[in-house]
Amino acid sequence: MTEPQPLFSIITVTYNAASTIGPTLSSVAAQTYGGPVEYIVMDGGSTDGTPDIARRSGIEGITVVSERDRGLYDAMNKGLDRARGQYVIFLNAGDTFHSPEVLARYAEAIERHNTPGIVYGQTLLVDSERRPVGPRHLSAPEQLTYRSFADGMTVCHQAMAVLKRISSPYDLSYRFSADYEWVLRCLQHSRANVYVGPEPVIDYLNEGVTTRNEFRSLRERFRIMCYYYGILPTLLRHVRFAVRGLSRKLRTHRKPLSR
């Protein structure tokens, strides 16, 4: 007997995203996967018409909820609560599936590997015109384990489909890095993780973050690493990060000797 195709729950969290959500909606609508899909747009009470844009998309199985929340990860928890799928995918406004075949690639991997905990792939950075900027600083490994994330967010949060039963709510005590901590918990409960190949699965909108928030995010991530991997190993690892970063900077700025 053929196994039923998995139900994917795609969750997009938005707030005043009228200028960026269009490509996201289009990429969901373009998926060629023939199995069941539900699409949940959790909006934080936008005033720029974002919910109406989503409702007018005509995507089959779309649910649009617009209400106040306590921030990004609270909205993601609300989406997770509503999700009925076997697998959940978080796709932020502005981010897109790289091709119409992404869900089909995920489904094939799920069937071939008997319902793995996490199915994942590579990420391509794009600008606001959807032009490729390049790959992420960290590339997704072919063999993903819990230890893989000791060096940081090895796999982009959006570039993975996670078996819903191994997930749990995002920890709202983290304001900037709760996604990193959430993935670590999912990896702890995953019996198998499957890589779908080198072709990207996600185009990530490279908008950049403020230096202040980037520092706070890195500080939170350091605390999380200390908790999950130990204080001393994390400190030693960051010393290596700093040495590598300094070496790259010196190589970049080194000038040839004049004759």
> Which structure tokens are listed for 197?
């190949």
Average pLDDT over every residue of 122-129: 94
What is the model's pLDDT at position 252? 54
Residue 150 to residues 23, 41, 100, 238, Cα–Cα distance (Å)? 33, 31, 32, 10
Give residue 243's pLDDT band: very low, low, confident or very high (50, 70, 90): low
Lowest mean pLDDT: which of 29-38, 112-121, 241-250? 241-250
Confidence of residue 218 (pLDDT cuts 50, 70, 90): confident
Distance separating alpha carbons of residues 148 and 152, to the nearest angstrom: 8
Strand partners for 37: 8
- More reliable by pLDDT, 209 or 69: 69
The answer to whether the Cα torsion of 230, 231, 235, 236 is positive or negative is negative
Cβ 199 vs Cβ 158: under 8 Å:
no
Distance CA 171, CA 80 (A): 13
Higher pLDDT residue, 251 or 82?
A: 82
pTM over 0.85: yes
Cα–Cα distance measured from residue 140 to residue 234, given in angstroms and rounded to the nearest whole number: 20
Confidence category of residue 258, pLDDT binned at 50, 70, 90: very low
Counting Cβ atoms within 10 Å, is residue 101 exposed (0-12), middle (13-18) or buried (19+)? middle
How high is the pLDDT of residue 207? 75
